[in-house]
Structure formats: structure tokens, C-alpha cells
Amino acid sequence: MITEAETPTQIESPSTPEAHTEGVPIIQVDHLVKKFDDFTAVNDISFDVREGEIFGFLGPNGAGKSTTIKVLCTLLQPTSGHIRVAGHDVEKESDVVRSMIGIVFQDNSLDSDLTAQENMEFHCMVYHIPRAERVERIKRLLELMELTEFKDKRVKTFSGGMRRRLEIARGLLHEPRLMVLDEPTVGLDPQTRNYIWQYVRNLRKVHHTAIFMTTHYMDEAENCDRIAIIDKGVIVALDTPANLKKLVGDDQIELITRDNAHVMQVIAEHYKVPVSERDGAVIVQVPAGESFAPKLLAELPALTGGVTIESLHIRRPSLEDVFLKLTGRLIREEEGSKDQFKLNLRRMGRIK
């Protein structure tokens, strides 16, 4: 049983923010630097996150992601530079900033011995949510996350996906303008990951909440409106997923033929596009593979004197390609072992 007397020091809520329009910056990072003795973890980065935006923050291990998040969430002091959340300085107005942020950490932070309802009630107390509003807020958010029928069950009985949904619901109780999701679907199966993303997109649509997230699943990063890639403490690229993929190059059409050398010569001379051979396939680089491929299929036999295409595959640049180009590594190589380690610990019951 939880009572008011058991709550820790309460964090005062800020005054109700004035009405704001689409595109208002919720996060403003200005020349942020964070050093640990002689090591520079974050080196003069600047970016903003706008109201209602899903913003991805990607980088290999040790790139500076976690350090930036800790400064953003007032857990670390910057060496220099500033971060503001909805106009409030994270150093000078830390209590106000905390009350405006909802956080879902990589690792479970729920009390497993309490029920879902009790976890939600405790969060209401910590954030000084008025008693008159608690019942309705908890009811609404448990319904949003499809957890109403489990509200009186202890969290220790929940699956990983249910815990994640409850953590997101808890993080929304104080109606934050910003949700920070640090690897929100790590270790979850693909179906549960899809469900979590449905809820995240709904947050943006219904509540207009800004989402600041990290992930090492490149298919998830496609959901972001913009992505910043950080490496060795420096932001090396920041743009929409579509524009980032343009950094890699054009679409690639892979052809299998019986006379690759002749086909390559004809394509280069007739279409004036880059062509090469790799692993027994002819690789043609073009801006729009879907529109070029039918023309190539129809015209190539006549142009080559009867050489036909045995198979054709269109490959578009991916965010994985972008990450590899900019950092020299595949993000799955950096994060995969960590992800598997967490999965193994969960299976052994060492972590929840």
C-alpha cells in the first residue's frame, strides 16, 4: 500500500506553457561540450528537436549518445555550451526541466513488486500531480497502452513488451512536452517492437509530444522525422532519413546475365550510367531504379544482340549504408553483442 507519506521530495511542476505552434523547438543544444578529465565525450555539438517531432540519435558505442542524454536529463553538468528544454536551461532550471521530460531508460526502472496501478500512483506522487487528476490520467494512459486488464497485476509477472508499454504510460503521466526513449525496444521480439512503435507514433499524433530516441535497429530509425548521427563526440550528419540515404548514392540494379562483359559495355555506352561487376553480377547505378529497370529489361536484348537478363534486383541505399559510410562501421556490429547480452540476461532471469 502506497501513502503520501512515503513519497520522496516532490518536484514542483512548471506553470502551464503558453500555446505554441508547429515547429517550436523543444530541445535546443548549443555548442555542447562534455569532458571527463582529458577525454572529450561530446565535442561541440549543436542541434534542435521540434515540437511533435520524432528525432533519432544514432551512433556506435562510445560515440557520445548516453553522455548527451544524461546532460539533457540533468544527470550530468556540461563542461561548456548549453541545452534548453522548452526554453529552460538544464543547469539553472533543472527541476523545471525534469518535470517537462518523460524518460524510458534502456533497462527496466519499474518496481517489480508493485502492481501497474501502484507504479503509476507512485509516479503521480513524485511529480506532484493533483489528486483530483490522478485517477483519470492513470485510467486514460493504461487504456492507451492496452494495460487496463492488468492494472492490478504485479509487474514481475509482465512480459518485456508489457513492461515497456507501462514505462511509456508512466512517463506520460505528468504530461511531458518531451519523451526521451533510450533503446525503447531493445531485446523485444519484432511483433512487440511494432506495437511499441504504434504507441510512439500515436503519442506524436494525439499529444503532439516531441520524441528524442536512440535505437540500433535501422528499420526503426526509418520512423524518425530527422536523424542525427554522432561519432567520436561529433555530429557527422543530421537530416531526414531520405536525405541521409542520398549521401550514399543512387539506387543499384543488380543483373545476372550470360555475358556480363558485353552487357556492361553496352549499358555504359548507350545509357551513360556507372556500371561495374561484383560477385558475378552487373551493378548499374541510377537515380530511380524502379523506372529505369523496365526500360532496361525491354531494350537490352536488342541492344546486345540477344543477351537476356536472367535475374534483376533493385537495391536502394539504406540507413545502414549511411551509417557505414559515415562511421566506417555497421551499427549492428557495434550494438549486436550488447543486445544479445541483454537477451541472455533476461532469459536467465538476471534482469527484467
Q: Is 166 helix (H, G, I), strand (E, B) or coil?
A: helix
Task: Give the per-residue pLDDT at 62.
Answer: 85
Are residue 232 and residue 284 in the same domain, yes or no?
no
Provide the domain count of the chain: 2
Tell me the CB-side half-sphere exposure of residue 34, using CA atoms within 13 A.
27
Residue 258 falls inside a structural domain: yes
Residue where a domain stops, chosen among 244, 272, 292: 244
Are residue 223 and residue 276 in the same domain, yes or no?
no
| Domain around 261 | 250-315
Are residue 226 and residue 263 in the same domain, yes or no?
no
Residue 326 falls inside a structural domain: no
Q: What is the 3-state secondary structure (H, E, C) of 12-70?
A: CCCCCCCCCCCCCEEEEEEEEEEEECCEEEEEEEEEEEECCCEEEEECCCCCCHHHHHH
Residue 135 falls inside a structural domain: yes
Q: Average per-residue pLDDT in the chain?
A: 85
> Residue 215 above 60 pLDDT?
yes
Q: Which helix (H) or strand (E) holds 70?
A: helix 65-72
> Residue 345 above 50 pLDDT?
no
On whether the CB atoms of residues 169 and 141 are closer than 8 A, the answer is yes
Residue 168 and residue 103: Cα distance in Å, rounded? Answer: 8
Residue 148 and residue 27: Cα distance in Å, rounded? Answer: 33
Per-residue pLDDT band for 129 (boundaries 50, 70, 90) equals very high
Residue 122 falls inside a structural domain: yes
Residue 343 and residue 185: Cα distance in Å, rounded? Answer: 12
> Residue 339 above 60 pLDDT?
no
- Percent of the chain clearing pLDDT 70 (strictly above): 87
Residue 116 falls inside a structural domain: yes
Residue 339 falls inside a structural domain: no
Burial of 227 (C-beta count, 10 Å sphere; 0-12/13-18/19+)? buried
Residue 167 falls inside a structural domain: yes
Task: Give the per-residue pLDDT at 4.
Answer: 42
Task: Give the per-residue pLDDT at 112.
Answer: 94
CATH number at residue 207: 3.40.50.300
Q: How far is CA 78 from CA 102, 230, 351, in A?
A: 21, 17, 31
Task: Look up residue 106 and give its three cell numbers.
Answer: 534502456
Residue where a domain stops, chosen among 204, 228, 244: 244
Are residue 292 and residue 238 in the same domain, yes or no?
no
> Residue 20 above 80 pLDDT?
no
Q: For the chain, how many residues are written?
A: 352
CATH number at residue 277: 3.30.70
1-5, 8-12, 171-175, 178-182, range with the lowest pLDDT: 8-12
Are residue 71 and residue 177 in the same domain, yes or no?
yes
On whether the CB atoms of residues 258 and 310 are closer than 8 A, the answer is yes
Are residue 67 and residue 193 in the same domain, yes or no?
yes
The per-residue pLDDT for range 245-275, each reduced to its tens digit, is: 888 888 889 999 999 999 999 999 999 999 9
Residue 184 falls inside a structural domain: yes
Task: Give the per-residue pLDDT at 336.
Answer: 47
Task: Give the per-residue pLDDT at 61.
Answer: 82
Are residue 84 and residue 210 in the same domain, yes or no?
yes
> Residue 24 above 70 pLDDT?
yes
> Residue 224 above 80 pLDDT?
yes
pTM: 0.74
Residue where a domain stops, chosen among 202, 222, 244: 244
The per-residue pLDDT for range 60-74, each reduced to its tens digit, is: 888 899 899 999 999
